[in-house]
Amino acid sequence: MTTPSLLILPGDGIGPEVMAEVRRVIDWYGDKRGLKFDVSEDLVGGAAYDVHGTPLHDDTMAKAQEVDAVLLGAVGGPKYDVLDFSVKPERGLLRLRKEMDLFANLRPAQCFDALADFSSLKKDVVAGLDIMIVRELTSGIYFGEPRGIFTEGNERVGINTQRYTESEIDRVARNAFELAMKRGRKLCSMEKANVMESGILWREVVTKVGEDYPEVELSHMYADAGAMQLCRWPKQFDVIVTDNLFGDLLSDAAAMLTGSLGMLPSASLGAPMENGRPKAMYEPVHGSAPDIAGQGKANPIACILSFAMALRYSFDQGAEADRLEAAINAVLEKGVRTADLLGEEGVTPVSTAGMGDAILAALDESL
């Protein structure tokens, strides 16, 4: 049996620090559970630009196409703000998503009970929250043409085009319906069909796909109303499917319901490869946080949870993903906290590596 392959791209800022803790978890699974991975590492973002003059070298892109899954840390930082738009660190991330055709971005918003007080909403509103936002990732307004800044008459105009084909909507909708079948069998589709033709098409196609999933309760909601409802009573949702722009906004709003961006993972999935596994990239929702880079203050949990998602969606190791998530929950229940989660009385502050130590100890206890 072929050893599953992982390409690790730590990136910039706190990326290398949080990814170092993921490497320790990967090693634990190899040593204690016999779950081996063929792990390679390369550069992306500013780190790649510093060496190659591009945020993603062609050789790295080729590796990403060949492995079973990519695990990415974070990209960007103020030192790269002066670069031309075409070589900014974020362009490396967008190239990975586009060329790997990672069309479905899975963004869970899960609130661990131990952290319910960190949300800006009341505890009873968020405690036990577990929703999944499926965001279309390779089309829509971020990729549509024409785009650019042009001169019309005596002033400039910025243009971005919202564009979706039926097939692009169909495939992300099917991904969302399949997820709903494995969860609460409830799916809410969000768009702006009241003012956007692309929203009308989105609603029509999702409704048509829904005919193939009669077990799933499908509802539709305008995206702005969805944002309001996420803040009012998020537990009314289970799976949400939406386009690239609205998914970007709604998933960040849902992320903050849980109290800390340092806690949230994501998965970006594409079409199945020859081995039946989907092309996939996993990354924490948080950014590169250059202001705390190198200080041992970063929370590695989001990146470790991203590896848990890889175990579940790329490597058919759902039970081991459950084990890792349970270990993280046990650590939080004991009051172990990195700098982003301090503020309560009676907690134990730890560094980035200290949180890794605690999670590894909890994994040992799970055996």
Q: State CA 366 to chain mean position distance.
A: 26
Instruction: Say how far residue 186 (Cα) sits from the centre of its chain.
Output: 21
Residue 341 DSSP label? G
Q: Tell me which of 42, 68, 243, 248 is the catalytic residue.
A: 248
* Residue 12 is among the residues annotated as catalytic for this protein: no
Which residues are within 8 A (CB) of 58 and not within 5 positions of it... i.e. 6 or more apart? Answer: none
CB atoms within 10 A of CB 51: 10
* Residue 109 burial class via C-beta count within 10 angstroms: exposed 0-12, middle 13-18, buried 19 and up: buried
Q: How far apart are CA 312 and CA 319, in angstroms?
A: 8
Residue 101 appears among annotated catalytic residues: no
Q: For residue 146, is the peptide bond before it cis, meaning its omega torsion is within 30 degrees of 0?
A: yes
Spot the catalytic one: 101, 224, 322, 357.
224
Assess contact for 190 and 240: CB atoms under 8 A: yes
Catalytic residue among 192, 213, 243, 279: 192
β-pairing, 265-272 with 278-284?
antiparallel
Q: What is the DSSP string of 215-253?
A: TSEEEEEEHHHHHHHHHH-GGG-SEEEE-HHHHHHHHHH
Q: Tokens 């993280």 map to which residue?
A: 328
In single-letter form, the type of residue at position 49 comes to Y
- Among the options 27, 50, 113, 252, which is catalytic? 252
Choosing from 142, 213, 282, 313, the catalytic residue is 142
Is-catalytic flag, 252?
yes
Q: How far is Cα 148 from Cα 161, in angstroms, rounded to an integer?
A: 10
Active site residues: 142, 192, 224, 248, 252
